[in-house]
Amino acid sequence: MPRAYTLGMPSLADRCGVCQSELAFALPICPICKKPVCESCAFRMGGSVFCGDACANAFFFGGQEDVEDESDLHLLQDE
C-alpha cells in the first residue's frame, strides 16, 4: 500500500512500529522507545499504551532506587 503522503510531509497516517502496518490515523506512541503502536499490537499496563511487555516493565519497574542519604545505603545492599 503506498504511503498517503511523502516522507517529508506530515500526515495523520502512521506506520505501526511493531507490525509495520500503515493506518490512516495517528497512533499512540510508546513512552519508552517512541514507536507508534496500533490497537492490535498495543500492550496496555497502568492506563498507558506500550509496544510490548519489555517497555511496559521498563516504565513501571525499571531504574534504580534513589538514595538520598548515605545512611540509607544499607537498605539496598544484600545481607
* pLDDT tens for each residue of 15-32: 899 999 988 888 899 999
User: For 52-78, how does the pLDDT look when each residue is reduced to its tens digit (9 = 90+)?
Assistant: 989 999 898 875 555 455 555 555 555
- pTM > 0.75: yes or no: no
Contacts for 59 with CB less than 8 Å, ≥ 6 apart: 31, 32, 45, 46, 48, 50
**Contact at 8 Å (CB) between 59 and 31?**
yes
Bridge-partner residues for 48, per DSSP?
45
Least confident of 8-12, 28-32, 33-37, 40-44: 8-12
CB atoms within 10 A of CB 9: 8
